[in-house]
Amino acid sequence: MIVVMKKGANAEQIGHMVERVEELGLRAHVIEGTERTVIAAIGEKRDEYRHSLESGPGVAEVVPILAPYKVASIEVKPERTVVTVGPFSAGNCHLGVIAGPCSVENEEQTVSTARAVKAAGATALRGGAFKPRTSPYSFQGLKEDGLKILATARDETGLPVVTEVLAAADVPLVARYADVLQIGARNMQNYRLLEEAGASGKPVLLKRGPCATMEELLLAAEYVLNAGNQNVMLCERGIRTFENHVRFTLPLATVPYLHERTHLPVIVDPSHGTGHTRLVPRMAAAAIAAGADGLILEVHPNPEKALSDGYQSLDFRQFNETMSLCRKVADAVGKEMARPVSMNPRDPLPALV
Ligand code: PEP
Ligand code: MN
């Protein structure tokens, strides 16, 4: 249920209703909107207490939450969540761009990529230190050494670091270095990991499992939100289908669909979502046209030599061109994208080759 407080309900009335909800054995989740405060009352026994709560001080109405996910639902919070970390913002009119290598390989590769993507307008740096690889014989990531390199790149550029955490036990270590914890597609339904990531207090980028439905994705997000962490970004990164011209099929209808159901920002990953460098720029632009709140893109100084996912990585020039194309679409659909750092907002955009 949602206890909708009247406009102007005071802190004492809100506090009282939180106590009432908790007395009924439900969990109270307070969401302060710009207009009014609502209290989501979450638990097994729901509707039977509706009338008793409705008579509380400062209460406007009590309405059931129809969706199986609660805190993630737009029914509970009609205002869009904006996740902000330093220069990075995603949600509402803000379009965040996370870019960097699939894997952190060495300091030179990561720092040079961080500098290049920042110059082209990225607002966060990605890079895997713990890599989930299909084969145990593939490069598994530099682990803590990789995290240290990411921290160096952040010091050099000011870009916040987005990096994957593979296991619940690694959350404290990864959270010490990362600004945003990435939960990978293979781990979307690792519930202990979701709870730990939620409890870390760091913003979470939750990638959709390649076989997961929208409802499963939103229920996974609910685990993080229930740990008291409001800063969750959902990521469409492609699903497994019969198609074999792409690595995964990137369903962009996910973006407007999720915007109907949830207030959480939706990020799109056209790198994993296509698996081919040449398809990435247009799908990045298409994601923005579909309303995406952000992009996550793989960029490497020399994709041919990359230790992972080189075939879907952009080089610096290709990233620059992708950003120019994306900026045009962002302007057309009313999304704010950071300008390249070297560029005056009045200067013409670099030509698309
Ligand atoms: C990644 O971002 O490099 C990655 C492994 O992504 P996913 O979990 O979507 O496969
Ligand atoms: Mn990758």
User: Which tens digits make up the pLDDT trace of 149-188?
Assistant: 999 999 999 999 999 999 999 999 999 999 999 999 999 9
Mean pLDDT of 11-15: 95
20 CB less than 6 Å from ligand 1?
A: no
Calculate the alpha carbon distances from 2 to 5, 23, 24, 353 in Å. Answer: 9, 16, 14, 52
Read off the DSSP letter of residue 348.
P
Ligand 1, atom 2, lies closest to the CA of 102
Mean pLDDT of 341-345: 59
Q: Give Cα 120 to chain centroid, integer Å.
A: 21
Q: Residue 346: is it exposed, middle or buried by C-beta count within 10 angstroms (0-12/13-18/19+)? A: exposed
Tell which atom from ligand 1 comes closest to the C-alpha of 208: 9
83-337 CATH, one of 3.20.20.70, 3.30.420.40, 2.40.30.170, 3.20.20.210: 3.20.20.70
Query: Both tokens of residue 329?
Result: 């679409």
pLDDT for 65: 87
Tell which atom from ligand 1 comes closest to the C-alpha of 185: 8
The most confident of the ranges 1-5, 65-69, 319-323 is: 319-323
Q: Higher model confidence: residue 218 or residue 228?
A: 218
Question: pTM of this prediction?
Answer: 0.93
Å from CA of 130 to ligand 2 middle: 11
Tell which atom from ligand 1 comes closest to the C-alpha of 269: 9
pLDDT for 115: 97
272 CB less than 6 Å from ligand 1?
A: yes
The dihedral over CA atoms of 303, 123, 72, 176, expressed in degrees to the nearest 10, equals: 80
CATH 3.20.20.70 domain locations along the chain: 83-337
38: nearest Cα among 16, 62, 57, 20? 62
77 CB less than 6 Å from ligand 1?
A: no
Q: In whole angstroms, how large is the CA radius of gyration of the chain?
A: 21
Q: What is the pLDDT of residues 89-128, one digit of tens each?
A: 999 999 999 999 999 999 999 999 999 999 999 999 999 9
Å from CA of 230 to ligand 1 middle: 22
Ligand 1, atom 10, lies closest to the CA of 185
Ligand 1, atom 4, lies closest to the CA of 184
Asked if the model's pLDDT at residue 343 lies above 60, the reply is no
pLDDT for 16: 97
- C-alpha 37/C-alpha 31 separation (Å) is 6
Question: What is the SS3 assignment for 225?
Answer: helix
Q: Can you name the CATH fold of 2-63? A: Alpha-Beta Plaits (3.30.70)
185 CB less than 6 Å from ligand 1?
A: yes
Å from CA of 242 to ligand 1 middle: 20
Q: What is the pLDDT of residues 226-241, one digit of tens each?
A: 999 999 999 999 999 9
Residue of 150, 182, 190, 298 to test ligand 1 pocket, by largest number of atoms within 8 Å of CB: 182
Å from CA of 104 to ligand 2 middle: 11
Tell which atom from ligand 1 comes closest to the C-alpha of 308: 3
Asked if the model's pLDDT at residue 315 lies above 90, the reply is yes
pLDDT for 162: 98
- C-alpha 269/C-alpha 27 separation (Å) is 34
pLDDT for 347: 55
Read off the DSSP letter of residue 170.
G
Residue of 272, 300, 313 to test ligand 1 pocket, by largest number of atoms within 8 Å of CB: 272
100 CB less than 6 Å from ligand 1?
A: no
132 CB less than 6 Å from ligand 1?
A: yes
CATH 3.30.70.1140 domain locations along the chain: 2-63
Residue of 164, 205, 233, 309 to test ligand 1 pocket, by largest number of atoms within 8 Å of CB: 164
What phi and psi, each to the nearest 5 degrees, are found at residue 99? -140, 150
Ligand 1, atom 1, lies closest to the CA of 102
